[in-house]
Amino acid sequence: MFIVDSYPLAVLLCFVTMLCWGSWGNTQKLAGRSWRYELFYWDYVIGVLLFSVLSAFTLGSIGTGGRSFVADLLQADTRNIMSAFIGGVVFNASNILLSAAIAIAGMSVAFPLGVGIALVLGVIVNYAASQKGNSTLLFLGVVLVVIAIILNAVAYKTKDSNQKSSARGILISLIAGILMAFFYRFIAASMDLDNFYAPQAGKMTPYTAVFIFSTGIFISNFLFNTLLMRKPFTGAPLSYRDYFKGGLATHFTGVLGGLIWGLGNSLNLIAAGKAGAAVSYGLGQGATMVAAFWGVFIWKEFKNSPPTVSIKLRWMFLLFIVGLACIVMSGR
């Protein structure tokens, strides 16, 4: 299988993850013009599972290093399989709430709040489990990101005069972020992060773990998304019949979103062996800054806001950048 051997390459892959994780929401915004996010999410989940299969039989099955996908899957023990699967269930619960928050509050708010909280808690959880990297620089970066998150929330409160909508969007984002902080630990625990070339017996390679994780997302979606369709946060209830009314282009947009996120997830876990789980996860969740960029500059979600909002947003971006730089340097 393909294995990362250098820290600079691992960081590069984490930055690609950051771009992917911060950009998939654009497909929801595109589909959302005529398509409810609950319906979009079915296609998104299919895209995530599809990419995990493609990566498993390509990058996960070539070369002489490590175990190939099929051999690795057959030797994995039940405990590790369940760990990755539970990671998928936890992620799906958080991500479907994040999708709801995007629909209510927009990308420039839902991502920095939800994924920002996930970054902070996730780095702490993953560092506690695998203490790899300079803790001072790592947590300095986390503190700067926390301040950036607070600035974003204040900017949104100033911009949105609809306090009921504002409070609901922020609350859902926060719940999504808390849940999202824990999914990575489950999937990382199922792998041997110290040795991808000769993984411990029973542990899985990143490619196998991603496949099991994606299966957990897909299966749990029949519970979570069905409940959300029947009891939506906004709008009338939906049925499965509504899903099949969508056109090919609409369904493809959702699948594309899942493929983009899946690419980022696979690259992040491949990089974790060299960078460490805390650094790899923290850099990937820099997606908050990418999503905020899309929301502010492309979707114009803060258009016609007071001048003070623009000042807060500039500081938010600056603090995110400096915070991420600290996280990068902590891994050396």
Q: What does the pLDDT look like over 199-208, one tens digit per residue?
A: 999 999 999 9
CA separation (Å) from 98 to 30, 80, 92, 257? 16, 27, 10, 14
Reduced DSSP (H G I as helix, E B as strand, rest coil) percent helix, strand, coil of the chain, to 5: 75, 0, 20
- Least Cα distance to 331 among 288, 272, 285 occurs for 272
Please report the DSSP string for 26-40 in residue order. Answer: HHHHHHTTTS-HHHH
Q: What is the DSSP letter of 204?
A: B
Share of the chain above pLDDT 70, in %: 96
Could you read off the pLDDT of 257-306 as tens digits, one per residue? 999 999 999 999 999 999 888 888 888 877 777 877 888 888 887 788 88
pTM of the model: 0.86
Of the candidates 298, 307, 305, the one whose C-alpha atom is nearest the C-alpha of residue 108 is: 298
Q: How many whole angstroms from its chain centre is CA 2?
A: 22
User: Which of 158-162, 172-176, 271-275 has the weakest average pLDDT?
Assistant: 158-162
Band (77; pLDDT cuts 50, 70, 90): very high
**Among the listed residues 33, 196, 3, 182, the one whose alpha carbon sits nearest the alpha carbon of residue 94:** 182
User: pLDDT tier at 253 (50, 70, 90 boundaries)?
Assistant: very high
Using a 10 angstrom Cβ sphere, with 0-12 exposed, 13-18 middle and 19 or more buried, the burial of residue 2 is: middle
For residue 331, what are the CA distances in angstroms to 47, 137, 189, 313, 327? 31, 9, 19, 28, 7
Contacts 24+ apart (CB under 8 A), 232-235: 232/36, 232/38, 233/100, 233/103, 233/104, 233/168, 233/172, 234/103, 234/104, 235/36
| Contact in structure between 91 and 99 (CB atoms under 8 Å) | no
pLDDT at 218 over 90: yes
Give the best-scoring range by mean pLDDT among 83-97, 112-126, 133-147.
83-97
The one-letter amino acid code at 305 reads S
Give the torsion sign (CA, 154, 93, 88, 257): negative
Tell me the β-bridge partners of 204: 191
Query: Residue 191 — φ and ψ, nearest 5°?
Result: -115, 160
User: Which DSSP category does 244 fall into?
Assistant: T
Paired tokens of 146: 């926390």
Task: Give every CB contact of residue 1 below 8 A, 6+ residues apart in sequence.
Answer: 59, 60, 61, 62, 63, 65, 66, 67, 68, 69, 196, 205, 207
DSSP SS3 for 188: helix
Q: Is residue 33's pLDDT more than 90?
A: no
Most trustworthy range by pLDDT among 6-15, 157-166, 254-263: 254-263
Give the dihedral of Cα atoms 149, 146, 214, 182; nearest 10 deg.
-140
Nearest alpha carbon to residue 98 among 154, 164, 28: 28
Residue 161: its pLDDT value, please? 54
Surface-to-core class of residue 317, CB atoms within 10 Å of its CB (0-12 exposed, 13-18 middle, 19+ buried): middle
pLDDT over 90 at 331, yes or no: no
